Structure 1
Amino acid sequence: MEIIDNSIVEPIEIRMIRPSKLLVRYALSTNSPELANLKSSIREHGLLQPIVIRPLDHGFEIVAGHRRFSACRSLRWRFIPCKIRDLSDKHAYEIQLTENIQRKSMDPIEEAEAYQKYVNEYGWGGVSDLGQKIGKSEEYVSHRMQLLKLPNDVREKIVHRDLSVSQALELTNIDSSLKSEFVDEIVNNKLTIKQIRVMKKNITPKSDLCTSVSHKNKSINLVKKSNLALKITLSRIDDLVEDAHGIDPKQRVEMIKFLMGLRLKIHSMIDDTIKFKKNYS
């Protein structure tokens, strides 16, 4: 999408400009490090790229460049270089979204919320339409929007880059009562997508772990967590057995025998947790 077509470039008085009513990103706090860095850059090098605005009945509205605008206003500039374009709400939103995607300045949750607004809240088009407008595949847009199914604590880990988008997507179809345990295990042990899928496969829909846990029954919940922890350990042992096939042949048989012995013990412990749960309840 071309941003500068048919635009007029000129300095506009800052007091005549207001933020967009259709923001695609969170506003920066006045004391944020990102804003401080941007101010420092503009102070030293000037504003290298004008912001994009559109005319309103009284003044102008920002289309793209909200953070540059905030930095310049904090620096007490009176005028700011602007590209002025006459745009509809829909077109303005698409430009704002496209610019942020091209700059890679949005975190995955900001992206997901922006796509959700476009498709569902504003009703400007479907996932396929949006993908074509911003130069992304339908699958890409759809996957980002699926992140909004996750609890807030999981979203925070995505924002802070403790959890990748690929890892997070594996959690969207897991029972809600198990998500926290899965997330902790993934983050603490830096599990690969393959390892996560093995974990999920070991937790079948018929398992006792997939029933919702009452807040009043914390003891049973501990048993379920124990079962989950053991199944996670089992999946790791399976990975180690696979790795053992690549070691020296002289040690391979002994190592595989040792690992398979551990595997049997873990299976026995899983059986014990199931029996304990039945007796306890």
Structure 2
Amino acid sequence: MARDSKSKDNKHKGGLGRGLEALFEDEPVSAAEEIQELPLAEIRPNPYQPRKQFDDKALRELADSIAENGVFQPIIVRKSVNGYEIIAGERRCRASKLAKKTTIPAIIRKFDESEMMEIAVLENLQREDLTPLEEAQAYDMLQKNLGLTQAEVSKRMGKSRPYIANYLRLLTLPTKTKRLLQRGELSMGQARTLLGLKDKSKIDALAKRVVKEAIPVRKVEAIVSQMNQKKAKKQPAKKSAFITASESQLADKFGSSVSITAGKKGNGHLSIDFKSTEDLNRILDLLGVNLDD
């Protein structure tokens, strides 16, 4: 018998979290939710599905089992303008197509866009099907599409706020490093450590080295620390007493912050801060500048 297993030790708190638990319970289907055989050609993936990769070998094994025994657990779908969208059970749907099936048992339920997003994320999290990058993208999608804060995402997903924040930080990695993380060549721990590198332009090169040499997280931390020490910023040159006194006198005159940067060849830069158009006009008046002339 081939069926998707549910993780028993990853319980999610919050309203929808409990609703998802009920969604996957093997309870008798009510009369209002009878199982129907729907054409696979009319079924499309959840548009908010965060999972991008499916294990080909496991999918093939499930397809072989479905070809012999059929699908024992119906998928959950919602009616859309053209056919149906999967709420839960995309793996079974894909495997059924591989098994050359034309229909699949399904239960039709009503969900709005917000619920579709949350269910797509929660289903995969419960089954631990997402890569670290996919999980990060899922949390980012919830934040942007539902207008949630990190704290709200944390509450809805049943995760701590630091947990959510650490995953979202992965999205700031450069593209090549993200690819290594998505393919599983780079671990979550290694990727998080690379984020500590001050010179972001060197992350890709270091990530490639970490993968090539199979460098453990502790050693990556040491390398990042060493590189950061070399990158330590130089202290700005101390201003002369004359420059400091000039800044002070000009600040008193204009009633605004003034900065003077002297060059090596007698040249330099003078800046006067202003807070608004009115403040700028006040300073121009003090300088005797009349733009109306």
Q: Give the TM-score category using the shorter length.
A: 0.5 to 0.7
Q: What CA distance in whole angstroms lies between the structure 2 residues aligned with 1:128 and 1:46?
A: 42
- Contact 1:63 1:93 (C-alpha < 8 Å) held by counterparts: no
Question: Match of 2:154?
Answer: 131
Counterpart amino acid of residue 188 in structure 1 = K
Q: Using a 3 Å threshold, how does the CA distance of structure 1 residues 9 and 104 change in structure 2: closer, same or farther?
A: farther
Q: What CA distance in whole angstroms lies between the structure 2 residues aligned with 1:181 and 1:79?
A: 48
Q: Using a 3 Å threshold, how does the CA distance of structure 1 residues 166 and 28 change in structure 2: closer, same or farther?
A: closer
For structure 2, the 5+ residue unaligned runs are: 1-16, 24-29, 235-293
- Residue identity over aligned pairs, in percent, reads 27
Q: What CA distance in whole angstroms lies between the structure 2 residues aligned with 1:180 and 1:92?
A: 35
Q: What CA distance in whole angstroms lies between the structure 1 residues aligned with 2:137 and 2:118?
A: 14
For structure 1, the 5+ residue unaligned runs are: 211-281
Shift >6 Å, 4+ stretches = none
Q: How does 1:182-261 map to 2 (within 5 A)?
A: 182-204=206-228, 207=231
Q: What CA distance in whole angstroms lies between the structure 2 residues aligned with 1:160 and 1:59?
A: 33
Counterpart amino acid of residue 37 in structure 2 = I
Residue 89 (structure 1) aligned with residue 113 (structure 2) = yes
Deviations 1:44-74 (A, max 9, x none): 4432432111233554321122232122234
Alignment TM-score, normalising by the size of structure 1 = 0.64
Aligned residue pairs, count: 207
Alignment TM-score, normalising by the size of structure 2 = 0.61
Residue 147 (structure 1) aligned with residue 173 (structure 2) = no
Cα deviation, residue 165, structure 1 = 0.3
Deviations 1:18-69 (A, max 9, x none): 332322222769xx44542331232244324321112335543211222321
Cα deviation, residue 88, structure 1 = 1.0
Cα deviation, residue 84, structure 1 = 2.4
Q: Using a 3 Å threshold, how does the CA distance of structure 1 residues 188 and 76 change in structure 2: closer, same or farther?
A: closer
Deviations 1:197-251 (A, max 9, x none): 22222223663899xxxxxxxxxxxxxxxxxxxxxxxxxxxxxxxxxxxxxxxxx
Q: What CA distance in whole angstroms lies between the structure 2 residues aligned with 1:180 and 1:58?
A: 43
The structure with the larger Rg is: 2
Q: Using a 3 Å threshold, how does the CA distance of structure 1 residues 19 and 191 change in structure 2: closer, same or farther?
A: closer
SS of alignment partner, residue 48 of structure 2: coil
Counterpart amino acid of residue 80 in structure 1 = I
- Contact 1:12 1:79 (C-alpha < 8 Å) held by counterparts: yes
SS of alignment partner, residue 12 of structure 1: strand
Q: What CA distance in whole angstroms lies between the structure 2 residues aligned with 1:166 and 1:140?
A: 13
**Larger RCO, structures 1/2 (Cα 8 Å, 6+ apart):** 2
Q: Comparing both structures, which one devotes a greater share of its residues to helix?
A: 1
Q: What CA distance in whole angstroms lies between the structure 2 residues aligned with 1:108 and 1:35?
A: 21
SS of alignment partner, residue 35 of structure 2: strand
